[in-house]
Amino acid sequence: MKHSLPVACVDLFCGAGGLTHGLLKQGVQVKAGVDVDPACRFPYEANNRGAAFLERDVESLTQEDLAEYFSEGDFSLLAGCAPCQPFSTYARGKDTTQDAKWKLLRAFGGLVRRIQPDLVTMENVPQLPKHAIFDEFLKAFKGYHTWYEVVECESYGIPQRRRRLVFLASKLGPISLIPPTHSAKHVTVADTIGSLSAIAAGEADVADPLHAAAGLSDVNLRRIRQSKPGGTWQDWDEELIAECHRRDSGKSFGSVYGRMRWQEPAPTMTTLCYGFGNGRFGHPEQDRAISLREAALLQTFPKKYRFMPKGEDANFKVIGRLIGNAVPVRLGEVIAQSIREHLNQLGSSNH
């Protein structure tokens, strides 16, 4: 861990702790994480020493609830990633400014207005600035210097083709994300998961219960055996092609039932990344989808990051959701490095 920064942070919508862990690794003093999902408590507390977990709805938070976590003499940082349900398939093409699902982003903006933290950061979906709700969100930042950009995560050492909006705001002066750190050479699937032990579909590694792969039906086992890295279901024998893909409406869905390529970054991790049929989540050479541990590593969680108590079997649905919804740990580190650089430029690091 880098030497600590004079920055006290509360992480809203903290999930399993991806953003918190990255901030902590680079010296930000994360005091608390807030999430309404009780499944987040164990991984958040088990891996992020010194950060309290508050099982609360962000909409219900008051200025007084968070005041104790912002130490006197430290700069205050409000961080988070408001969930982005309005960008589901069903919402595309509609102006959802008044949609109730925007309430979490509004709650974030409302806390900024009331608390007036010195610094704010948010990670979100790349489509957000195209919607009127984002202009409404920006009105909470009167008196702040703001910066936002859609970031290609692989340019910062995250082994995924992942585009995310990163937002930074500061009352202290102009702020921006540090320049890309891996634009010349991306981190690959092989770099990230190539050394893990081989397991079969439906099995778990005895030494690491999170290195567990979902089972495959007989037909899906036959399908993955005919799948090539970077290929599609169009590589299969005719009898294996699903009925939905035979129809004209399904012919464009070439990214499902695919294997990853060793020497490239992975596709974007989702909450269903442990399923072979849910995207290009097939292991590059083993006949299975990636394991939960492999998914966590591709989200840049450390190899020893704990998602369940010792002795428990992995719950794919729950842990898949926690991993897929997480802010990559490495992106949290990059945000913290940007804040450090910001304070250094202002001569404020010894505040």
Amino acid at 289: A
- Active-site positions read 84
List phi, psi (to 5°) of 95. Answer: -80, 110
238 DSSP assignment = G
Token match 């036959």: residue? 222
Strand 75-80 relative to strand 160-161, pairing: unpaired
Give CA–CA dist 308/314, Å, rounded.
7
Token match 């050492």: residue? 157
The token duo for 179 is 């320049």
The answer to whether 339 and 119 are in contact (CB under 8 A) is yes
The token duo for 142 is 């009167």
Cα distance between the two ends of the chain = 20
30 DSSP assignment = E
Query: Residue 226 in 3-state DSSP?
Result: coil
Taking alpha carbons only, the member of 155, 95, 105 closest to residue 125 is: 105
Residue 228 to residues 102, 111, 258, 262: CA-CA distances in angstroms? 40, 49, 7, 11
